[in-house]
Homo-oligomer: A and B are copies of this chain.
Amino acid sequence: MADHTTRRRSWWGWGTEADALSAAECTALGSLVPGAAATPLPVPDVSGHLLPKVRVEPPTALAPFMSAAPLDRASHTYGKAYRDVVRALEGDLTAAPDQVARPRTEQEVADALDWAADADVAVVPYGGGSSVVGGVEYRADRHRAVVSLDLSRLDRVLEIDRVSRAARIQAGALGPGLEDQLRPHGLTLRHFPQSFEFSTLGGWLATRAGGHYATLYTHIDDLVESLRVVTPAGVNASLRLPGSGAGPSPDRLFLGSEGALGVITEAWMRLQERPRHKASATVLFGDVHTAFGAVRAIAQSGLHPANCRLLDPGEAALAGVAHGGRSVLVLGVESAHVPVDGRLAELLALARDHGGSPAPTQPGAPDAAADTWRSAFLRMPYLRDALARMSVVTETFETACTWDRAPQLYEAVRGRLADVVREVTGAEGTVNCRFTHVYPDGPAPYFTVIAPGRRGAEVAMWDEIKSAAMEVLHDHGATVTHHHAVGRDHRPGYDRQRPEPFALALRAAKRALDPAGILNPGVLID
């Protein structure tokens, strides 16, 4: 990741241009999916003619940090959902923002909001742009113009408190840049979402991101000491505290607010020392429901493994760690302070007691499945984009539910989604599942759907699959999202899940903080 600051970001797809699959690689990948297109969709040139006319010019004072360059506008039109990538490939940039603002100070953020409120310009806060739920795409039509507020220039670690192990970090810092600044101090935020390279602290906070670790500190929420949030009604600066019981938490109102209540500009974050002790192992299960029981026992054991990732047989195959059609549980333990071999042994004993068989490993060697899985994990979004170019429809959605409902949910999702894929695409798709996080009271299952689509109908097919997914989650009392956020794509499920009095309160809070209604219109509430 050493070159993460220099490699050019893809304007249409995940990550960097250099890491995207070539046309030849797309074709080869597509050949693995029966029914895929024969040739990849070309990547269009971004030029003025694809973009709508610019409807607003910034005032002189703001002009130095605003841009209406075609590449800026195009790259800020969408997030990175499947439907975003396909529409970008199709050259559909009608939703492009008029301007991209890149404020260099918190004051410039406030100035931009002041101007936008007066000028009836919608403001869409933009971190790394990795939203997979339509979180950064303006879809309304009631504002005079739209500005994408890109926080990428606010990317510094401003202060480190070594004693309390905390740092004040600007919201626009990307994962690698943030960790680079902490590393010389022997500290780490230790929050590694799959989007780590291409998402920001502010984005994580605004969407309640989930990190890589399976237990204990899963969501970014628990790592927050305090926030600074610029709202049209003033700067919300909470007190930096390890814990408090003074009224409802101010921070928890802004965590998950997805830019609708204010723009997070910085946060004091809890840090950890870098782990010095690590151990991992793989356990196999002949039956996925037996595996559920073992994972539940582990989640309820108080042993808090750093990794506890269960892959069902299809998911294991997709990640390149197949074990003869068995389910694969990757366990990992880490500590900065004490050896962890004993804890891994306790975890393995629990897994064995619940029907698991440790996979054979070379004694002393790092566990191969964990490494293989991690590479595949980081590579996955690029493959998704390549499949998109081959008109293969892919959808990933994630949820959480209590253990009593998990087995039925798993079967219902697989059954229902397989049916829907068949109805929508006319082909047999695959529906796989892994658990990304596990809690004492339930897992967070993550589903992947892959099916050959029809060129030109990919987005419509995806929308039908997404809609069916939300329906089955709702039917089983599972959340519409565990860590991908609501954005605009999850609104139908979210609107049903959110208690109505809370919706009233949230709308009232929005009116109080953003009376002109300019902040990220359409996410969470109308």
Contact = CB atoms under 8 A, between A and B. Distances in A.
Interface stretch (A21-29, A148-156, A491-499): A491-499
Interface in A270-314: 270, 272-273, 296, 300-303
Interface stretch (A6-14, A161-169, A318-326, A418-426): A161-169
A6 to B, nearest CB: 32
A486 B247 contact: yes
Contacts of A481: 244-246
A459 to B, nearest CB: 23
Interface in A326-356: 335-338, 342, 346
A248 interface: yes
Contacts of A31: none
A77 interface: no
A262 B246 CA distance: 17
Interface stretch (A79-87, A379-387, A395-403): A395-403
B209 A337 contact: no
A378 interface: no
A412 to B, nearest CB: 17
A465 interface: no
A464 interface: no
Interface in A138-179: 161, 163-166
Interface stretch (A32-40, A54-62, A109-117, A439-447): A439-447
Nearest to A402: B164
B244 A499 contact: no
A239 B479 contact: yes
Interface string A214-255: 000011000001000101011111111111111111101111
A67 B25 CA distance: 79
This chain's copy number in the assembly: 2
A261 interface: yes
Contacts of A461: none
A481 B401 CA distance: 33
A346 to B, nearest CB: 6
A443 B242 CA distance: 7
B243 A502 contact: no
Interface residues of A, number: 95
Contacts of A210: 245
A485 interface: yes
A219 B246 contact: no
A403 B163 contact: yes
A401 B231 CA distance: 26
A338 B348 CA distance: 13
Interface string A466-506: 00000000000111111111100010001001111110111
A200 B160 CA distance: 40
B501 A513 contact: yes
A130 B507 CA distance: 34
A249 B296 CA distance: 24
A91 to B, nearest CB: 32
Interface of A: 161, 163-166, 207-210, 218-219, 225, 229, 231, 233-250, 252-258, 261-262, 270, 272-273, 296, 300-303, 335-338, 342, 346, 400-404, 437, 439-444, 477-486, 490, 494, 497-502, 504-509, 511-513, 524
7 contacts: A164-B441, A225-B441, A236-B500, A240-B402, A243-B437, A244-B481, A303-B338
